[in-house]
Structure 1
Amino acid sequence: MNLTKTVALASLLTSATLASTGVLAHEAGSWLVRGGLGTVIPQESSDDVAGSGELEIDDNTQIAATLSYMFTDNIGFEVLAATPFTHEVKTNGLGKIAEVSHLPPSFMAQYYFGQADSEIRPYLGAGLNYTVFFDEKSYGKIKGSDVELDDSFGLAAQAGIDVSINDKWFANASIWYIDIDTTVKVKGVGNFDTEIDPIVAMISAGYTF
C-alpha cells in the first residue's frame, strides 16, 4: 500500500476517535453493516508474456460493503461484497494489453477484541474468497485476441478497527489480504499463470442493529 493510502486510513481513524461520543453495541445477536470505498491493490507476479515481461495490474477503487453477524460478544461472521472492480493489464514490452473486471466475495470468521460496549473494537479475521472474472477485453498489440481468466478460490485474512460515533453508528477502517491465483489465457499467444494476491484497503461508515 502506498503512503497516501496509509495516511488516509490513519487520518480517518484519528478523526473518528476524536469524534467518538458513545460506545459500540457489538454484542451477541447484533448485525453490523458497513459501507464505503474499497481499493484493490494487486501484488502481482506472473509468467513472462512472450518475452515482454510479467503482467502488471493497476489499482482500482469501488463501492464496497460488508455484513457481519455477532455470534458472541467477540466472535462474528462477515460477508464482503462490492461493485465490480476493473483493472488495466499491461507489460513493460507491450504496454496496455487488456482490461478485466472481477467480483471478489469473501467470507470471514472474525474475533473482536475488548468488551461489547467498548468505544474502539479492533478485530482480526480469516476465511475464504471466491473471485469471478468477467468482461475481459484485449487492447494494443493483442487487440482482437480472446482473453480469459480462470476464476479463483483461495484464503483471505483481514485486520480492522471500529470506532464508535454513537451507540448505533461507527467508523471503520480495514485491510484485507486475498490469495487470488489465476491463469490468463490469450488465444494465439499462450497461457500465463498469474498470482494477483491483492491488498484491499477499505474505509467505511457502519451501523449496528
Structure 2
Amino acid sequence: MKALLPVVFVSALCSSMALAHNAGDIFVRGGLAAVMPDESSDDVASSGELELNNDTQVGVTLTYMLTDQLGVELLAATPFTHEVSTKGLGDVAEVSHLPPSIMAQYYFGQANSQIRPYIGAGLNYTVFFDEKGKGALADTDVDLDNSFGLAAQVGIDVNFAENWFANASLWYMDINTDVHTVVGTFDADIDPITFMASVGYTF
C-alpha cells in the first residue's frame, strides 16, 4: 500500500478529473494505519519507563461533508496490539486497543479541485483489552484504563479516477492511561502518531 501510494499520486496529477468533495457527499477511505507510540510513564519498579512497539493494522474512515469545506469524520480500525517492555525487565505485557475517533475537518481549495488538503481536530476514545502479563509479570493481572482525549490530523486527498481518490494522513492522539499491575499502578502517556495510507470512494 505505501509503495503504491506515490504512483497513485503521480497518476492523479496527470489526470484531468476533479475531486468532488461537495456538501452532502459521503465518502469512505480504507487502507493501512501505522501506530507509532510516543510514550512516557512512571518508573516501573526501578526498571525504567514503559515502552510500546509500533503496530500496523487496517484503518477505515467515514466522512460526511456538511459544506464544501467542512466535514465530519469517524475513524475505525482493526485492533492494534503492542508489546510492552521496560529497559530493565524486557517484555512485561501485551495489550490490544481500539482508538475510535470523531473529527471536525476543514478542506482547503474548491469543491471540484483535484487535490484537497485538509486539517481536523476532535476527540478520541481508546478502549484497551486482552491485556496479558509477560516475563516478570507472567501469569499476573495487568489492566489498563480506557482513555478519552483530544485528537488532531492533517491529510490530503488526490483524485485518480471518477469517484476514486488516494489519501495520506497523519494523526496525533492524546492517550493517557493508568496501568494496574501486581507491583503497583503506573501513569502512562502513549500519545501515538499514526500514519494512514488509503484509497477512498465518494458516494
TM-score bracket for this pair, using the shorter chain length: over 0.9
Q: Deviations over 1:18-75 (max 9, x none)?
A: 2112111100000010000001100000000000000000000000000000010000
Which of 34, 57, 68 lines up with 1:39 in the alignment? 34
Aligned structure 1 segments of 4 or more residues deviating by more than 4 angstroms: none
Aligned-pair Cα RMSD in Å? 1.1
Counterpart check, 1:50 vs 2:15 = no
- Counterpart in the other structure of 1:16: 8
Alignment of 1:64-143 (within 5 A): 64-143=59-138
- CA offset at residue 81 of structure 1? 0.1
Uncovered stretches (5+) of structure 2, i.e. residues with no partner: none
- Counterpart in the other structure of 2:194: 200
C-alpha separation in 1, matches of 2:9 and 2:127: 37
- Counterpart in the other structure of 1:153: 148
SS in 1 for 2:161: coil
TM-score, structure 2 as length reference: 0.96
- CA offset at residue 192 of structure 1? 0.4
In the alignment of these two chains, the number of paired residues is 199
C-alpha separation in 2, matches of 1:24 and 1:44: 37
Choose 125-134 or 15-24, whichever is displaced more: 15-24
The one-letter code matched in structure 2 to 1:92 is K
TM-score, structure 1 as length reference: 0.93
Q: Deviations over 1:70-96 (max 9, x none)?
A: 010000000000000000000000000
Identity %: 64
The one-letter code matched in structure 2 to 1:107 is I
In 2, are the aligned partners of 1:25 and 1:167 still within 8 Å (CA)? no
C-alpha separation in 2, matches of 1:103 and 1:16: 29
C-alpha separation in 2, matches of 1:140 and 1:126: 39
- CA offset at residue 15 of structure 1? 2.5
